[in-house]
A and B are shown apart, each in its own frame.
Chain A
């Protein structure tokens, strides 16, 4: 009897907690989107930001955010998958593995501002590049790598042992098994993890303050030569991303319409994260379907 009652009470507490959390988070999302939609229009998304006048947009910042994310992922995904495979398949229990695991934990628990400071020291000052997209992307790689490694390791480990054993029993080599059995089976999990981490990278600001800078040169969107300073694709130019922009207008900015710009930019950030998520889910299910169909 008593345990029944306890069970009921406990259950209602859990429900309450979940409700509080969901409530807070929904209020948050609602607030951002409600205020944001009042500001966002085509003009806001496609006009240049102003550093002192009213009515600036976020065109360059938006592009920079995506571009920095893309470059970061170019580094992180292969490295992360490699690291994940190592941890799941090759690492033998022992000192080396422990050490690598410690390294991953160190990287994972580093505050992003510390990563930014490291980036400032190495990618900005030591290499002499200055504030560049590449410096920012490398800093973000450091910051994102442990997440992807963990995602991949978990995804590979969660593949049923029987699959792997069956493959090995057929005389397929370890590497080939990883390539043809484990990775495909783990792929939806990896992809979802990667895209979710993309959301985190997309919104990161502290690591970028000191590495990608607070400003953007005048971009010419018809110039696609990646070595030209005006080209949006140049990775050796400073780039203020959307989240850095929100921070800057709020804490250093002198534009009169801080509130509007920050509202709009926040909503755009959140919507982008939303799109990443939906995309991850959709892609994950599509691939899963195709693969289970073809197998």
Chain B
């Protein structure tokens, strides 16, 4: 408000005002920040209320939803148990992270600490290109290369958890690498200089100085990679086989929350129970992204202490 009255005063005095653009700028900036807040709140509210419809309007038991391993939406007495999909999502995410985290962070360190010039000039662009490769392309490659390979050399149908894991792991690899490399690069050079100055080897510098210093950001890289893996829909759907029961092994078909949503969204009618449960699955995805954020927060808060 003071800004406004000052602006008025200045206009009255007919001074060349410097305050007015300052104010306008602030409005634009605050507006942008406002849009972000509104978007985040709107998504949360809309999806939560829609996702809870299943339990409120359709009377599906939330306990059954979260604990039953049966998913039989078309039976006479339909059962909606999301456990196999929740399991599938977690399995794919964790296995993919297990694959991508060491490779990604290792490569990031290689790029930033070992072969800086080469990494900067050559690997960085390649990784940036790969971050941009659409997930459907990874899915398609999975379908034409990885699935037949697993079928011929490992066993099973080829479609399954393993195929999903590999596809997602490769997919999040450049993401993890890129964020991790940014983290390493943003460390002040004097950290390295100081470490080398007291005679530390490169490994000691990396392990004792740089990684701890960059840890929150490195973990952010992994968690963001996991968040991407958890939410990846189409690439996984193309290769995982979409079976509704808990898989017995890595080569058995499985399903994730996202694959069931994509498979059934178009076939079901808006407002029916069959459709509403899909929104409830979406709500789980939403809750999980909040959990990922809490994890990041927790880790970085611990770091600061």
- A–B touching in complex (CB under 8 Å): yes
B98 within 8 A of A: no
Chain B binder among A14-22, A40-48, A50-58, A216-224: A14-22
Chain A binder among B67-75, B107-115, B149-157, B244-252: B107-115
Q: Is there contact, CB below 8 Å, between B109 and A82?
A: no
Partner of A247, one of B109, B238, B265: B238
Report the nearest A residue to B290, measured CB to CB.
A106
A255 within 8 A of B: no
Q: Is there contact, CB below 8 Å, between A114 and B132?
A: no
Report the nearest A residue to B271, measured CB to CB.
A125
Shortest A34–chain B CB gap in Å is 12
Q: Is there contact, CB below 8 Å, between B292 and A83?
A: no
Q: Is there contact, CB below 8 Å, between A259 and B107?
A: no
Partner of A118, one of B46, B119, B201, B234: B46
Q: Is there contact, CB below 8 Å, between A176 and B174?
A: no
Q: Is there contact, CB below 8 Å, between B22 and A103?
A: no
| A121: chain B residues within 8 A (beta carbon) | 46-47, 50
How many angstroms between the C-alpha atoms of A17 and B143 in the bound complex? 25
How many angstroms between the C-alpha atoms of A107 and B43 in the bound complex? 9
Mask, A2-23, CB within 8 Å of B = 1, is: 0110110111011111101110
Q: Is there contact, CB below 8 Å, between B233 and A111?
A: yes
Say what secondary structure dominates the interface of chain B. Answer: helix
Q: Is there contact, CB below 8 Å, between B140 and A114?
A: no
Chain B binder among A228-236, A271-279, A286-294: A271-279
Partner of A107, one of B39, B113, B141, B203: B39
B305 within 8 A of A: no
A173 within 8 A of B: yes
Mask, A184-218, CB within 8 Å of B = 1, is: 00000000000010011011111001100000000
Partner of B28, one of A21, A82, A209: A82
Q: Is there contact, CB below 8 Å, between A106 and B293?
A: yes
| A174: chain B residues within 8 A (beta carbon) | 22
A166 within 8 A of B: no
How many angstroms between the C-alpha atoms of A199 and B130 in the bound complex? 9
Q: Is there contact, CB below 8 Å, between A175 and B26?
A: yes
Add 17 more A-B contacts to A107-B39, A199-B131 (CB < 8 A): A11-B203, A17-B102, A18-B110, A78-B32, A83-B29, A85-B32, A111-B227, A111-B285, A113-B282, A121-B50, A125-B270, A142-B39, A176-B22, A179-B25, A196-B131, A209-B265, A250-B143
